[in-house]
Amino acid sequence: MDERLRVLVVDDSALFRHAISRIIESTPRFKVVATAVNGQEAVAKAAEFRPDLITLDVQMPGMDGLAALTAIMEHSPTRVLMVSSLTTRGARVTIQALCLGALDFVTKSGNQGSQLETQLLAKLDAVMQAGVPGYRRAVPRDRPQRAPTGPPASGLIVIGASTGGPAALDEVLGRLDPGLPAAVLVIQHMPPGFTASLADRLDGSCPLPVREAGPSNQLRMGTVLLAAGGAHLVVTRRGESAVVDGPSRHGVRPSVDVTLESAVRHYGARLITVILTGMGCDGTAGSRQVREAGGRVIAQDEATSTVYGMPAAVTRAGLANLVLPISQIGRAASRMGGEFGGEYQTGGAAARSR
């Protein structure tokens, strides 16, 4: 009996269908059971073959990858790995897909050989560690009303995530209190070219302004900075952060541990760490330093994690003050952050400059 995991490859380019199929078939664990050239065919073959995993092109004529993903997750839910072009539109649609249930993505480039192969082989095993996500209906949202940005933050919240992170961040940031007297740094494992689109997506659902971190940044009350892909985000002094180059940690850049190790030196006990879904153990070493300095750590629970790796490592090390389902984390972080002072009032009164 053939026990290999079954994959459906969807791409309108014959070149990429062949390249992706060849890479998948080169592994002993996976086999390609079908291919599709457009979204309509992908939806039909997902229902017919019930694959363990689908690689799904973002941009296709007719029914595109986003529309196909929505239909697949509603009628034949399975693990989906998006295949995205390195364009602004490709990045924007990829981020939407991740928030609708796709687990991760690989990027197309001019080099369809080794670069694609390296990405794809790394992601195949990672996404198979995840459970099959449920259907997430896209809900139109009005951009929230916001108070003016406050003074320099007296406390800091650092949120780390990897596989499954965009959807989890959408949930957590959407539940933060608008009057939070802390700054928020978000570290999502993601390559260059995609974090600006993720920041824009999160800005549309969070009651606090969200933007991608620049070379240097002020850490002010009630603001959220997302680490840029391909670089580390470090706290350089209380109230300031910077994007820096440096070697990857745990094979990723940005790394949660790098940010936490810099933040704890300047915020100490006034630092809250939130570790969300993701593969590996990034965030554990930094969380240990946070606890030793008197700060607090929240970890996502297993039941709501797409991949219970990063939060599991923190929890099993005994570092989590709280282990919570994703729906409770934003409010819990706001309650903890409310202790940092400023003109904070629970319920949304904003911190104001004196």
Which residues, in sequence order, are CB contacts of 346 under 8 Å at separation 6+? 177, 179, 334, 335, 338
User: Token digits for 179?
Assistant: 């009057």
Measure Cα distances from 245 to 158, 235, 255, 288, 317 in Å: 19, 14, 11, 24, 29
Name which of 233, 3, 191, 14 is nearest 98 in CA terms.
191
b/e map 297-311, b = 16+ CB within 10 Å: bbbbbeebbbbbbbb
Which residues, in sequence order, are CB contacts of 4 under 8 Å at separation 6+? 28, 29, 30, 31
CA–CA gap between residue 253 and residue 120 (Å, rounded): 18
Cβ(83)–Cβ(20) below 8 Å: yes
Residues designated as active site: 162, 189, 282
The phi, psi pair for 311, rounded to 5°, reads -70, -30
Cβ(317)–Cβ(348) below 8 Å: no
What residues form DSSP beta bridges with 298? 274, 322
Cβ(210)–Cβ(226) below 8 Å: yes
CA–CA gap between residue 71 and residue 98 (Å, rounded): 14
